[in-house]
Amino acid sequence: MSSNIEIKKKCRWCGSEFIARKTSTEYCSHRCSGLAYKERRRQSRLESYQQEYGHQQSGRAEVATQEFLTPTQAAKLLGVCHMTIYNYINQGVVKVWKLKRKTLIRRADIDALFDILRVEQVTAAKVPIPITEFYTSKEVQEKYSISNSGLYEIAKREKWPKTQQRGKTLWSRKHVDAYFAKQQPGEEISEWYTAAEIQARYGMTLSAIYCLVSKEAIPKKKVGAATFYSKYHFDLAKGAVEPKEPEYYTYPEAMEKYGLTRDQLHHYLKYYNITRVKKGKYTHILRSELDNLLKSPEI
């Protein structure tokens, strides 16, 4: 039941006058009451923060004058958590003194950490090498036997640098040659099939040939409009020939075959000057020379 009394008051938040029904009413509306409540909470948090900050500052001022500090005091001095100090201790960055069950850190040792300055080397920015040699689109098509659409598709995918001169598109010679050099099969392949020869020998359709080439990663090359496939690799995929004995060992293969450690194997290779070939990031060892060196002795 509402009160019948009317009391003229001034809102403590907005300052406007209003008629209150109770003597305890201090705000003219629910909105002013809510805003005042939020302001009180805000002031309470600020006071709490100021007290905490003052406590931290007083703690730092207190430990700053001490010659020996506990890990917790050292953490306060440096403004880090105590676990960081213990990590420094375990890593040997900060020296500690053990006094029975108490761990102490000398203030001078902490100050000495800041006397060691680490100069960071600034890496100079790489200066791009200007491109001075170019192919025209026609030259690329004639040299590598590709169509104009194929050229632009590869250039877009590989992001070849290009420029325009007098209405002609010029492509970076270095990038073009590097791309097609990777596409060429190894020089050791000397015998090739055409698609027609494969069809005649194995009775395969063109789609079956393309699937097998893709699945078995059979080397191929393109000369003009004709595509050639490695004869040995295709016959091997069809099971018509036996795989060739590899000419080289890898390090793990040689170590496993002869029961050697890497250091022992490297000693033999260096001391007896065994032929080694670098292919990418791997080193290959000439099989015949290593087998001849490590073969079983004959009486």
Q: What pLDDT shows up at residue 144? A: 77
DSSP 8-state code for residue 163: E
Q: What pLDDT shows up at residue 119? A: 42
Q: What pLDDT shows up at residue 148? A: 86
How confident is the prediction for the chain on average, in pLDDT? Answer: 82
Q: What pLDDT shows up at residue 62? A: 66
Same domain, 152 and 169: yes
pTM greater than the 0.75 cutoff:
no
77 by Cβ neighbours in 10 Å (0-12 / 13-18 / 19+) ranks as buried
Alpha helices in the chain (DSSP H): 30-64, 71-78, 82-90, 107-113, 137-144, 148-158, 173-183, 195-202, 206-216, 231-237, 251-258, 262-271, 287-294
Q: What pLDDT shows up at residue 121? A: 47
Length of the chain: 299
Domain harbouring 75, CATH code: 1.10.10
Q: What pLDDT shows up at residue 117? A: 45
Instruction: Give the separation between CA 103 and CA 213, rounded to whole angstroms.
Output: 71
- Mean pLDDT confidence for 267-285: 82
**For residue 40, what are its two tokens?**
């009180």
Q: 47 in a domain, yes or no?
A: no
Domain count, the chain: 5
Q: 52 in a domain, yes or no?
A: no
Q: 285 in a domain, yes or no?
A: yes
Give the structural domain span for 18.
7-41
Q: 178 in a domain, yes or no?
A: yes
Q: Which phi and psi (to 5°) does residue 76 adopt?
A: -65, -40
Q: For 17-69, how does the pLDDT look when each residue is reduced to its tens digit (9 = 90+)? A: 988 888 888 899 999 999 999 999 999 999 998 888 877 666 666 666 778 88
Q: 268 in a domain, yes or no?
A: yes
Q: 119 in a domain, yes or no?
A: no
Q: For 71-129, how does the pLDDT look when each residue is reduced to its tens digit (9 = 90+)? A: 888 887 777 888 888 888 888 888 888 877 788 888 888 877 776 545 444 455 567 78
The SS3 of residue 289 is helix
Q: Higher pLDDT residue, 260 or 66?
A: 260
Lowest mean pLDDT among 81-90, 222-231, 287-296: 222-231
Q: 2 in a domain, yes or no?
A: no
Q: 299 in a domain, yes or no?
A: no
